[in-house]
Amino acid sequence: MSAAGVLALQGDWDAHRRILQRLGAEARTVRTAADLEAVGALIIPGGESSAMLRLMESEDLFHRLRERVAAGMAVLGTCAGVILLAEAVEPKQPSIGGLSVTAVRNAYGRQLDSMVAEVELTPELGPPSRIEGVFIRAPRISRTGPEVEVLGRWRGDPVLLRQGLVLGATYHPELGADARVHEMFLRMGEDGHA
């Protein structure tokens, strides 16, 4: 796979970069359109989705990302990244698309309501069947389309999803010790074509 990128506009993008490097991948930061063209797969980290949209404006990254995702680039969105990849967002805001879901912003509460919880995983991710999920102002998925595969749940809610080469976690897998989500992302990048 060519280099994997991490959108480095906001949020703890560096935690994602360190995990990718630990897994042996070439990891690059993406801040400009030229940076985006130099990677074959991309992580969109958590942060604040509306702020990220504003930060994308100067390089027209929003439209370039939308084109790359539509063309089949492997992408992992975490927390705010899921909001940006959702087909629909409540309250309404622009999104890149790629995941046929409705994401409800801050649905589990404000910063003070952040938590660590156990996410139940499907057998596809291998043992153990649970993973630590760090939820910080996390979105809730209120609707999934038929083409969306739910890979993890918390209290019945879908929190880890995949649709084609788009992977989304409403929590922050980069803040836990388990790298299986990032490993899956790298495999998707190797199997897919950007």
Identify the structural domains of the chain with CATH numbers, from first to last. 4-191 (3.40.50.880)
40 contacts 1 by C-beta, under 8 angstroms: yes
Q: Rounded to an integer, what distance in angstroms lies between the CA atom of residue 191 and that of residue 87?
A: 24
Q: Rounded to an integer, what distance in angstroms lies between the CA atom of residue 24 and that of residue 147?
A: 31
Q: Exposed, middle or buried: residue 189 (CB in 10 Å: 0-12, 13-18, 19+)? A: buried
User: And the tokens for 12?
Assistant: 């703890």
139 contacts 103 by C-beta, under 8 angstroms: yes
Active site residues: 79, 172, 174
Q: Is residue 38 classed as helix, strand or coil in its secondary structure?
A: coil
pLDDT tens track for 123-154: 999 999 999 998 888 899 999 999 999 999 99
Which pLDDT score, from 0 to 100, does residue 32 have?
Answer: 94
pLDDT tens track for 1-37: 579 999 999 888 999 999 999 999 999 999 999 999 9
What is this structure's pTM?
A: 0.93
96 contacts 88 by C-beta, under 8 angstroms: no
Question: CA dihedral in degrees (87, 181, 39, 18; nearest 10)?
Answer: 130
Question: CA nearest 64: which of 92, 48, 44?
Answer: 44
Q: Rounded to an integer, what distance in angstroms lies between the CA atom of residue 87 and that of residue 96?
A: 8
Residue 47 DSSP code: S
* Residue 93 half-sphere exposure toward CB, CA atoms < 13 A: 19
Q: Exposed, middle or buried: residue 74 (CB in 10 Å: 0-12, 13-18, 19+)? A: buried
Q: Rounded to an integer, what distance in angstroms lies between the CA atom of residue 16 and that of residue 27?
A: 9
pLDDT tens track for 70-103: 999 999 999 999 999 999 999 999 999 999 999 9
